[in-house]
């Protein structure tokens, strides 16, 4: 059985995650381990961390199954204890979408293939767009507005600023 879980704490963000296909929602402001166990899971196979690596590191290490995989897109601000994963032989890795182009890796063209596949999946409805707010034109005022939305910590989905001013 394959299922997905997401974390959210506000009614609008809970609904948003459910609308995007998650099966279970747990509140990231409460004990994640207790909530996941209450759902009937001792461990989870994979964790994609998108917001607070430092704040949830110990919980993630407790929840990840032996030989599972934690991936993070956020940076840590204090040391993380990788030893918590040792006995489980669990994996931890960073994901940065610009690695291939930044370092000009040999497989850089695969990023093109991935983006084309994502575009195709969006076009045929297999993936849902995460944009919830758009601002135009692309100028300093709208960049500040977008930054303020993201920094508020209450943004659901993604904000896009587009179309250069003439």
Q: Give me the residue spans of the domains in the chain.
A: 5-127, 130-166
- Tell me phi and psi for residue 101, to 5 degrees: -75, -35
Largest CA distance in the chain: 58
Q: Distance between CA 161 and CA 136 in Å, rounded?
A: 6
> Beta-strand (E) ranges in 42-149?
44-49, 64-72, 91-94, 131-135
Structure confidence at residue 1 as a pLDDT band (50, 70, 90) = low
Q: How many residues does the chain have?
A: 166
Structure confidence at residue 164 as a pLDDT band (50, 70, 90) = confident
**CATH 3.40.50.720 matches 5-127:** yes
Does 165 score more than 80 pLDDT?
no
Q: pTM (2 decimals)? A: 0.87
DSSP code for 127: S
Q: Average the pLDDT over each of 14-28, 111-125, 137-151, 152-166 and give the range with the smallest value.
A: 152-166
Angstrom CA distances, 149 to 13, 40, 140, 156, 158, stand at 15, 36, 14, 9, 10
Q: Residue 136 in contact with residue 145, Cβ under 8 Å?
A: no
Listed residue (27, 20, 12, 70) closest to 45, CA to CA: 70
Does 144 score more than 80 pLDDT?
yes
Q: Distance between CA 164 and CA 60 in Å, rounded?
A: 41
Q: Distance between CA 112 and CA 34 in Å, rounded?
A: 41
Mean pLDDT of the 83-108 span: 97
Q: Which two tokens stand for residue 144?
A: 């500040």
């Amino acid at each position: 059985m394959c299922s997905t879980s997401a974390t959210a704490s506000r009614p609008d963000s809970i609904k948003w995650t459910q609308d995007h296909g998650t099966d279970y929602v747990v509140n990231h402001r409460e004990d994640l381990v207790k909530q996941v166990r209450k759902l009937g899971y001792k461990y989870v196979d994979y964790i994609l961390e998108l917001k607070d690596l430092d704040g949830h590191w110990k919980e993630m290490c407790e929840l990840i199954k032996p030989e599972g995989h934690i991936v993070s897109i956020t940076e840590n601000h204090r040391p993380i204890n990788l030893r918590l994963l040792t006995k489980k032989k669990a994996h931890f890795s960073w994901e940065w979408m610009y690695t291939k182009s930044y370092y000009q890796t040999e497989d850089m063209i695969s990023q093109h293939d991935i983006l084309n596949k994502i575009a195709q999946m969006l076009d045929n409805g297999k993936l849902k767009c995460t944009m919830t707010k758009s601002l135009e034109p692309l100028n300093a005022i709208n960049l500040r507005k977008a930054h303020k939305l993201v920094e508020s910590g209450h943004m659901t989905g993604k904000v896009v600023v587009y179309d250069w001013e003439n």
